[in-house]
Amino acid sequence: MGGLVIETLALSHFRSHHTARLVFDGRPVALVGPNGAGKTNLLEAVSLLSPGRGLRRAAAEDLARRPEGLGWRVAASVQGLSGAHEIELRAEAGAARQVRIDGKPSPQAALGRVLRILWLVPAMDRLWIEAAEGRRRFLDRMTLSLAPDHADLTLAYDKAMRDRNRLIKDQIADPAWYAALEAQMAEAGQAITQNRRAALARIAAATTDGAFPAASLTLTGPEGSDEPADLATALAEGRRRDFAAGRTLIGPHRADLLARYIAKDTPADQCSTGEQKALLINLILANARALTEDLGQAPILLLDEVAAHLDSARRAALYDEICALGAQALMTGTDPELFSALGQRGQSLTVSDVAGASIVLKE
């Protein structure tokens, strides 16, 4: 079974890269080079080929190479869900990001109909011990990969909630205005929760327990409560409390994702740092398996510095999993030896920083 493939990637004035052009052959890719050479920036450029703001959640103006600040461009030739496509993203200085697919202006959500991309970056290592916002974002990335309409639902919900919060802030008491917005929030919010639960069920069905330990996942409301069956009623009944708080206190924007290390029956936030990382890798692989089963093609994986935190046995197991999926995985590391177990199954590229301009050399 094959996977989605990026064939070429071209950058102009993107982060540390003045210009760069990479050619991939479909195999997993090891991007090797010293810290600061621009390896993660290459992964970020690829992450922008999916809906959203990419793996760093950066604003368009923050992606431009400094000090020029002239705007930036990312272009890719891909084998996507429906065949070959040309994708271009660009932003002129001070302007919003623009997306073109096969030369035609397109909304960002349309990228999800071309590629599915999953990633794991070092910033996610503290996922289970930090605030719920990061776990919601992780859950919604998994959900979006399996249900592309999820992005439109979250946008609709967030807009209605912002309008409701503005009424609260302005101390407007007209119940008709609240009822209209709460109906919109309830329609979108309950669909969001259904999508999230369906995604968790798919991930659970695709989870295996081998070199990387399995986690069970639970979706909860704020402070561990259950999500309300009738969100519109719950919002109406909570207006007085929301007035006191100055914001909406119930709904999918307050949900949390709890994980438990199955074999040890231990909450993820009480596991060691290494165990937490291994649980995350298992979830990314389970997400990839679920997508492969649903689409008949493996997603693209972006794994930043993942090999540096694994022993040799687990590194080999990770590469075996990636190759078994048939996935094109872009992985970064400072030492070529980290990828020795991948061998000829992978492609290796060296990333160097020469005179302040990152370049990519083929090995």
Among candidates 75, 65, 59, which has minimal Cα distance to 11?
A: 75
Q: How many whole angstroms separate alpha carbon 150 and alpha carbon 39? A: 30
| HEC profile of 210-242 | CCCCCEEEEEECHHHCCCCCCHHHHHHHCHHHH
Q: How many whole angstroms separate alpha carbon 325 and alpha carbon 317? A: 12
Q: Which fold has domain 1-125+294-363?
A: Rossmann fold (3.40.50)
The label of the residue with tokens 């979006």 reads 144
Which residues does 287 contact at the CB level (< 8 Å), separation at least 6? 118, 142, 145, 146, 203, 206, 299
User: 299-315, pLDDT tens digit by residue?
Assistant: 999 999 998 889 999 99
Question: What are the helix and strand counts (H, E) for the chain?
Answer: 8, 15
Among candidates 224, 147, 236, which has minimal Cα distance to 192?
A: 147
pLDDT string in tens for the chain (363-residue length): 578 999 999 999 999 999 999 999 999 999 999 998 999 999 999 999 999 899 999 999 999 998 887 899 999 999 999 999 999 999 998 899 999 999 999 999 899 999 999 999 999 999 999 999 999 999 999 999 999 889 999 999 999 999 999 999 999 989 999 999 999 999 999 999 999 999 999 999 999 988 999 999 999 986 656 667 789 999 999 999 999 999 999 999 999 999 999 999 999 999 999 999 999 999 999 999 999 999 999 999 999 999 888 999 999 999 999 999 999 999 999 999 999 999 999 999 999 876 555 566 665
Judge contact between 64 and 54, C-beta under 8 A: no
As a whole number of Å, the end-to-end CA separation of the chain is: 27
The two structure tokens encoding residue 338: 């980290």
| Percent of the chain with pLDDT strictly greater than 70 | 95
Residue 256 pairs in a beta bridge with 220
Please, how many CA atoms are within 13 Å of residue 188, restricted to the half-sphere of its CB? Answer: 20
User: 194-246, pLDDT tens digit by residue?
Assistant: 999 999 999 999 999 889 999 999 999 866 566 677 899 999 999 999 999 99
Q: Does domain 129-270 have CATH number 1.20.1050.90?
A: yes
Question: What pLDDT is recorded for position 260?
Answer: 97
Q: Where are the domains of the chain?
A: 1-125+294-363, 129-270
Question: What pLDDT is recorded for position 275?
Answer: 94
Parallel, antiparallel or unpaired: strands 98-101 and 83-92? antiparallel
Single-letter code of the amino acid located at 219: L
